Amino acid sequence: MTKEEHQTPYYTIEGIIQRGLPVLIITCIMSILVGQILNSREESLISMPAILILIPSLIKIGGDTGSMLGARLSSALHMGLGDNLRSNPVVRNSVIAASIVGFISSISVSILVFLASSLFGFGMPLLTLLQISLIAVAIELAVVYSATVAIAFASHRFGIDPDDTVIPFIASLGDLVGVAGILIALNLLEIL
Amino acid sequence: MPPESQRDEDIFESQYIDKYLSEYASVSSIVREALPFELIATVGGVIAGIIFSGMTAELEMIPGLLVIYPGVLGLRGNISSTLGSRLGSAIHLGLITDLDRRNPELMNNIYGSLILSVIIAIVLGVLGHYVTLALGFESAGVLKLTLICVISAFTSGIILSIIAALLAIGMFRFGFDPDNVVTPSIATLGDIVSMLMLFISAKLVVML
């Protein structure tokens, strides 16, 4: 028992900070970039509260499903199932499944935002919200999933544990591309 | 290695891969498992969005608040979710068995993520201020932005660490795999808690 008490803990504060800090600094800089994109459109965004409700949930979808995809790919790579990128059923099925989850979630977000914004009296037509969500999510998922597959395979090849690198980076990339996607959608639909 | 056992191993391995592919990697099984969590997470996101849309007065009063918002919300994903995931691993390893404040494995994990939150919050506030100025936009000032970042990151960090620890230990006791429950729950609750704390700290700093 005394031996156990003197043992260094498996998790040390220094270790957690040292491992976390580099990735967090990068994601912090990426988040400032996202913030600046939003800031450049501040006035139009504040005048459209429905879009403000839409932003946090919609930009999450890419990061969430991308992280799930990244976790699945890295487990598959750990199990040695990832020798061939293109004809690999794990990669293909995971990407298809993540896209299905992403698109269904974006439809659900549009409906929820429509209900919430109608309730608060600044409603936007459901069709417009659906169009914005689907355009933004299509852009987001295409970029995020390509990056996820590329990073997972690259870190595997260079001997880095994909679990440590893929997930934090993908969540930030999802925010970045998600916000860009929403603004592109607003421009395409000539709302902004 | 004798050829016979080699062959047995190959058969075992190919059967294992077939089993993995048919049970865990079919499109319908992945969708069935992931969709409910993602739908719940989007509800959390919409609640966070409703709080966000109620912040328009603060967004106008504190120029630069919109710049730090993605970073403050990002902390929950990058710090609290990894905390949840590490707690899950520690529980599986038998390093953490209950909510014991003298257990260094548990407390180092929590202190480590809180210190990380504060460091990143300071970086976020300072960087947010100067990048905003550099791009020619107005900013409320380095002190105000950093203060909002630090207060919201620290308070939401404490709340989410306690939730993560309670959930991970509780779920394990009730026979669930914490890995499957904690990360999605923290992702959902994290958005709501972080947005609420950002709102409250912005209100506090406006009053100063």
What are the residue boundaries of the structural domains of chain A, listed by start?
A: 49-188
Q: ipTM, 2 decimals?
A: 0.86
The pLDDT, as a whole number, for residue B154 is 96
Interface test with A, best of B17, B26, B46 (most A CBs within 10 A): B46
Q: Would you call B120 and A56 a contact, using CB atoms and an 8 Å cutoff?
A: no
pLDDT at A161 over 80: no
* Cβ contacts of A87 on chain B, cutoff 8 Å: none
Query: Whole-number mean pLDDT of chain A?
Result: 86
Q: Is residue B153 part of a domain?
A: yes
**Test the A interface: residue of B12, B14, B67, B95 with most A CBs within 10 Å:** B67
Contact B20 A21 (CB under 8 A): no
Residue A149 to residue A72: CA distance in whole angstroms: 10
The residues, any chain, with a CB within 8 Å of residue B74's CB and separated by 6 or more, are A27, A28, A31, A171, A172, A175
Q: How many domains is chain B built from?
A: 1
Q: Considering only CA atoms, which of A89, A66, A138 is closest in space to residue B27? A: A89
H helical segments located in A7-88: 13-40, 42-46, 49-78
φ, ψ (nearest 5 deg) of residue B182: -70, -50
Residue B23 has pLDDT above 70, yes or no: no
Among the residue ranges A5-14, A67-76, B90-99, the one predicted with the least confidence is: A5-14
Q: What is the arithmetic mean of pLDDT over A108-119?
A: 95
Q: What does the pLDDT read at residue B2?
A: 53
In this prediction the pTM is 0.85
A110 CB within 8 Å of a chain B CB: no
Q: At what angle do helices B65-75 and B178-207 cross, to 10 degrees?
A: 150
Domain that holds residue B135: 55-207
Where residue B96 falls (left for φ over 0; alpha for ψ -120 to 50; beta otherwise) is beta
**Is the confidence at residue A22, as pLDDT, over 90?**
no
Nearest by CB to residue A28, choosing from B35, B49, B71, is B71
Which pLDDT does position A93 carry in this prediction? 86
Shortest Cα distance, chain A CAs vs residue B208, angstroms: 24
| B181/B184 Cα distance (integer angstroms) | 6
- Predicted pLDDT at B24: 62
Chain B nearest CA to A28, separation (Å): 6
**Do A168 and B82 make contact, defined as CB atoms within 8 angstroms?**
yes
CA proximity to A56, closest of B119, B77, B162: B77
Here the tokens at position B180 are 């499957």
Which region among A114-118, B27-31, B138-142 has the lowest average model confidence (pLDDT)? B27-31
Chosen CATH of A49-188 out of 3.40.50, 1.10.20, 1.10.357, 1.10.3470: 1.10.357
**Residue B81 in domain:** yes
A12 touches B: beta carbon within 8 Å:
yes
CATH no. for residue B74? Answer: 1.10.357.20
Average pLDDT over residues B96-108: 85
Which of A100 and B8 is assigned the larger pLDDT?
A100
**pLDDT-derived band of residue A50, with 50, 70 and 90 as boundaries?**
very high
